């Protein structure tokens, strides 16, 4: 097939396609962004660091509770701080960065899939990706992963265009832009970009070197049943040898300093200005220790990411293995299948070998998986459905219906809870939506079934994000504790925290806070001369021999303590997986006695009052 097919009308996404994908992404990602508290711990860390960056004006050295904190490079903090500056200190303003980054990533995925395959593959791949469980969740949260994904996809798309003859190869502007986005990725999550873009580069190199087949005839049908590989004209095939010189081009490598110019200045500056945090926390803990151990306790058995993906690809999980199997069968005759398998398999294997594991680390591998998924659907829509395929499609429709039924059962079991109706409505949306999908599958209306499943998932995210998650807000312990401290904080210079130190609580506090040990906390409680608010876990009080009693003017039994107000907040700490009792204490008062006034305290200048 001629290389010019890379720009044929069948491969181009229209402006309407881009608009539909953007609306679909926002419809999935925005519900649950507003009116829902930040989630401990990562969201709380990143939002609080960004808040302090904006308040202090120090945009180069991230701080957490006043100390240098280098959990991640600064790109996310810069973006969130800018969002705070534009929209105020709101949880949704912090999450907006990930929402927009994931929306851009979906557009880039579609553009790459269209150039690798065709327009229909692109639309199916992008629509399935953003409605899958893990991409939808990550795109709603304040995490570095959505930014990293957008940068990696921009780099891979540019690299593909560099090696494609119809795109005029490695022009100066395209090469410089490639290294620019690689530099941004390094500022987003350090060296992780090397693994994901490097795997695509390896796939491209092997793609260009594959010989011994009649490439001009296009891919051959898959062996032994299943959805055949896409027929000729559906997959881009470059003439053997084309594109190889592009990766060895002087123009391509002479622009490498652009990457260094983007990323290196911050790393050099931070190594000089906060050397202890840089070498100890960022290099030692965040990179080296995670490569050789699991210092934070997040580990898993071999095959961990395969197990995670059973949920991460819901509701498409039942169909994904078939996409991988068909690509494997077609790999000898279809170089695009080979490229996608390498891009998927190399980083997946490396992540499985690393001891430190978290579910969202695998997210970039979902991109080639989504394109393989789109190829399978594209081929299947052109072939009669076999009995085996009908069974797999039935499982695909049944799994979300089962989950919907379980969600309804949970809502019914806790029917007295305030969130019961929201839970039932969320489950009913999933159950009824995929019942309609099953009905369409029974009549072999595959295109309508796929579109209906996407619509059902959008409805599910709308109901869950705008009704269920807000209904669960009364159970968010960190925010509740911070709100009680804000009420008691009039005339207080600082908040002292002992025991309960979840980062989301610090984001919602209006006053500056610091962490103290149990002995210092006991001394502060005994000091009535200076008004303070103390947030202390009940276990720390009991360890100090203090038996708290709720109410104004309550005294701790077994001590000489007498503080103005003791208020008890109980809830479930989902990070620790246990129930917690946290006391918010007003010690001392501006006039030496009496209950402090109501919740009319104003925020510290430059910090604002955090909210949803």
Q: What is the DSSP string of 175-195?
A: HHHHHHHHHHHHHHHTTHHHH
- Cα–Cα dist 341/258, whole Å: 30
Asked whether 378 and 118 are in contact (CB, 8 A), the reply is yes
> If you compute the radius of gyration of the chain from its CA atoms, what whole number of angstroms results?
27
Query: Where residue 601 falls among pLDDT bands split at 50, 70, 90?
Result: very low
Residue 192: pLDDT over 70: yes
* pLDDT(496) > 80: yes
Nearest to 346 by CA among 202, 558, 174: 202
pLDDT at residue 216, as a whole number:
34
User: Whole-angstrom Cα distance, residue 419 to residue 25?
Assistant: 26
pLDDT at 291 over 90: no
What pLDDT score does 401 carry?
A: 97
Percent of all residues in the chain with a pLDDT value above 90, rounded to a whole number: 66
What lies within 8 Å, CB to CB, of 490 at 6+ separation is 596, 597, 598, 599, 600, 601
Task: Count other Cβ atoms within 10 Å, centred on residue 297.
Answer: 6
The mean per-residue pLDDT over the stretch 49-78 comes to 96
Q: What pLDDT, on the 0 to 100 scale, is given for residue 298?
A: 80
Q: State the average pLDDT over residues 314-338.
A: 92
Whether residue 394 contacts residue 441, with contact meaning beta carbons closer than 8 Å, is answered with yes
In the predicted model, is pLDDT for residue 461 greater than 50? Answer: yes
Does the bond joining 597 to the residue before it have cis omega, within 30 degrees of 0?
Answer: no
Model confidence at 143: pLDDT above 90 = yes
pLDDT of residue 226: 37
**Residue 169's pLDDT band (cuts 50, 70, 90):** low
What is the spatial distance between Cα 470 and Cα 65, in angstroms, rounded to a whole number?
28
- pLDDT value for 215: 35
Q: Residue 339: its pLDDT value, please?
A: 94
* Candidate from 152-156, 230-234, 289-293 with smallest mean pLDDT: 230-234
The mean per-residue pLDDT over the stretch 414-436 comes to 96
- In the predicted structure, residue 67 carries a pLDDT above the cut 80: yes
Q: How far apart are CA 521 and CA 510, in angstroms?
A: 20
Higher pLDDT, 10 or 404: 404
Q: For the CA atoms of 161, 166, 168, 169, what is the dihedral angle to 10 degrees?
A: 40
| Pairing, β 513-515 against β 67-68 | unpaired
Q: What are phi and psi of 359, to 5 degrees?
A: -55, -40
Output 384 or 239, whichever has higher pLDDT. Answer: 384
Preceding omega of 315 cis (within 30 degrees of 0)? yes
Whether 124 has a pLDDT exceeding 90, the answer reads yes
Question: Which range, of 100-109, 167-176, 258-267, averages the lowest pLDDT?
Answer: 167-176
The yes-or-no verdict on residue 237 having pLDDT over 60 is no
Provide the pLDDT confidence category of residue 345 given band limits of 50, 70 and 90.
Answer: very high
Lowest-confidence segment of 140-154, 219-233, 375-389, 571-585 by average pLDDT: 219-233
Among residues 80, 118, 81, 86, the alpha carbon closest in space to that of 101 is found at 80
Summarize the chain as % helix, strand, coil (round to 5).
60, 5, 30
CA 374 to chain CA mean position, Å: 22
Q: Count Cβ atoms within 10 A of the Cβ of residue 248 and give its class: 0-12 exposed, 13-18 middle, 19 or more buried.
A: exposed
Strands 495-498 and 513-515: parallel
Please write the tens of the pLDDT for every residue from 14-41.
999 999 999 999 999 999 999 999 999 9
pLDDT of res. 293: 84
Point out the least confidently predicted range of 245-249, 372-376, 452-456. Answer: 245-249
Q: Averaged over 128-138, what is the pLDDT?
A: 97
pLDDT > 70? residue 218: no
Across 343-379, b (16+ Cβ under 10 Å) vs e yields bbbbbbeebbeeebbbbbbbbbbbbbbbbbbbbbbbb
pLDDT for 431: 97
pLDDT category, 176, cuts 50, 70, 90?
A: very high
Q: What is the mean pLDDT of residues 382-393?
A: 89
Structural tokens at position 537: 């876990």
Which among 494, 491, 488 is positioned nearest to 598, based on CA atoms?
488
DSSP 237: -
Can you give the residue ranges of every domain in the chain? Answer: 3-383, 389-474, 477-587
Q: What is the pLDDT of residue 363?
A: 96
* Tens-digit pLDDT profile for residues 366-377: 999 999 999 999
Q: How far lies 315's CA from each of 118, 134, 322, in Å?
A: 24, 11, 14
**Which of 161, 152, 155 has the alpha carbon at shortest distance from 115?**
161
Identify which of 499, 469, 481, 575 has the alpha carbon closest to the alpha carbon of residue 40: 575
Question: Does the pLDDT at position 225 exceed 60?
Answer: no
pLDDT of residue 518: 83
User: Is residue 302 classed as helix, strand or coil in its secondary structure?
Assistant: coil
Q: Would you state the structure tokens that stand for residue 100, as one six-digit string? A: 């927009």
Name the pLDDT band for 331 (thresholds 50, 70, 90). confident
List residues bridging with 570 in a β-sheet.
Answer: 581
The distance from CA 263 to its chain's CA centroid, rounded to whole angstroms, is 22
pLDDT confidence of residue 536 = 93
Q: 66-98 burial, b for 16+ CB within 10 Å, e for fewer? A: eebbbbbbbbbbbbbbbbbeeeebbbbbbbbbb
Structure confidence at residue 241 (pLDDT): 42
Q: What is the mean pLDDT of the chain?
A: 86
Span 74-114, pLDDT tens digits: 999 999 999 999 999 999 999 999 999 999 999 999 999 99
Give the pLDDT band (50/70/90) at residue 292.
confident
3-state secondary structure of 497: strand
First CA to last CA across the chain, in angstroms?
Answer: 54
Per-residue pLDDT for 400 more than 60? yes
Beta-strand pair 532-537/495-498: parallel
Q: Encoding tokens for residue 563?
A: 């503080």
Residue among 81, 96, 101, 100 nearest 38 (CA): 96
User: Hey, CA dihedral for 352, 358, 363, 366, is it positive or negative?
Assistant: positive
Provide the pLDDT confidence category of residue 170 given band limits of 50, 70 and 90.
confident
Global confidence as pTM: 0.89
- pLDDT category at 168 given cuts 50, 70, 90 is low
């Amino acid at each position: 097939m001629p290389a010019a097919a890379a720009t044929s009308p069948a491969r181009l996404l229209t402006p309407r396609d881009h608009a539909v994908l953007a609306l679909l992404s926002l419809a999935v990602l925005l519900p649950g962004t507003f009116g829902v508290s930040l989630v401990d711990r990562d969201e709380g860390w990143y939002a609080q660091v960004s808040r302090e960056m904006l308040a202090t004006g120090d945009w180069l050295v991230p701080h957490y509770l006043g100390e240098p904190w280098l959990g991640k490079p600064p790109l996310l903090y810069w973006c969130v701080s800018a969002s705070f500056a534009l929209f105020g200190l709101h949880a949704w303003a912090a999450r907006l960065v990930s929402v927009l980054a994931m929306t851009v990533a979906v557009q880039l995925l579609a553009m790459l899939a269209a150039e690798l395959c065709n327009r229909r593959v692109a639309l199916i791949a992008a629509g399935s990706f953003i409605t899958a469980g893990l991409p939808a969740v990550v795109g709603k949260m304040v995490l570095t992963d959505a930014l990293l994904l957008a940068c990696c996809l921009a780099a891979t798309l540019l690299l593909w265009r560099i090696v494609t003859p119809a795109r005029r190869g490695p022009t100066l502007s395209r090469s410089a832009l490639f290294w620019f986005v690689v530099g941004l990725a390094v500022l987003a999550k350090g060296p992780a970009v090397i693994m994901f873009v490097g795997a695509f580069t390896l796939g491209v190199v092997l793609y260009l070197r594959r010989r011994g087949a009649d490439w001009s005839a296009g891919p051959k049908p898959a062996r032994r049943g299943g959805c055949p590989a896409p027929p000729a004209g559906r997959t881009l095939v470059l003439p053997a040898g084309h594109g190889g010189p592009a990766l060895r081009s002087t123009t391509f490598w002479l622009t490498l300093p652009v990457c260094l110019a983007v990323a290196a200045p911050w790393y050099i500056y931070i190594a000089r200005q906060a050397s202890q945090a840089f070498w100890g926390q960022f290099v030692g803990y965040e990179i080296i220790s995670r490569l050789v151990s699991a210092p934070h306790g997040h580990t898993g058995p071999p095959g961990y990411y395969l197990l995670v993906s059973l949920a991460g690809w819901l509701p498409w999980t039942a169909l994904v293995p078939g996409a991988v199997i068909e690509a494997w069968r077609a790999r000898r005759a279809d170089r695009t299948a080979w490229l996608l398998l390498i891009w998927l398999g190399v980083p997946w294997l490396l992540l499985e070998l690393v001891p430190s594991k978290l579910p969202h680390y695998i997210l970039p591998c979902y991109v080639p998986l989504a394109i393989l998924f789109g190829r399978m659907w594209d081929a299947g829509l052109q072939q009669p459905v076999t009995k085996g395929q009908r069974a797999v499609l039935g499982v695909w429709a049944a799994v979300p219906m089962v989950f919907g039924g379980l969600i309804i059962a949970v809502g019914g079991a806790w029917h007295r809870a305030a969130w019961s109706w929201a839970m039932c409505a969320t489950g009913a949306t999933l159950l009824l939506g995929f019942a309609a999908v099953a009905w369409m599958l029974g009549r072999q209306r595959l295109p309508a079934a796929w579109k209906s499943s996407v619509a059902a998932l959008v409805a599910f995210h709308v109901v869950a994000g705008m009704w269920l998650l807000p209904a669960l807000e009364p159970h968010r312990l960190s925010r509740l504790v911070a709100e009680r401290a804000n009420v008691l904080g009039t005339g207080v210079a600082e908040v002292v925290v002992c025991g309960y130190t979840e980062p989301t609580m610090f984001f919602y506090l209006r006053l500056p806070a610091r962490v103290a040990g149990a002995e210092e906390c006991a001394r502060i409680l005994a000091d009535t001369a200076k008004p303070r608010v103390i947030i202390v876990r009940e276990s720390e009080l009991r360890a100090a021999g203090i038996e708290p009693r709720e109410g104004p003017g309550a005294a701790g039994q077994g001590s000489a303590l007498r503080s103005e107000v003791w208020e008890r907040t109980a809830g479930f700490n989902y990070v620790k997986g246990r129930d917690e009792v946290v006391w918010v204490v007003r010690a001392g008062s501006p006039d030496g006695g009496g209950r402090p006034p109501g919740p009319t305290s104003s925020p510290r200048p430059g910090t604002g009052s955090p909210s949803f």
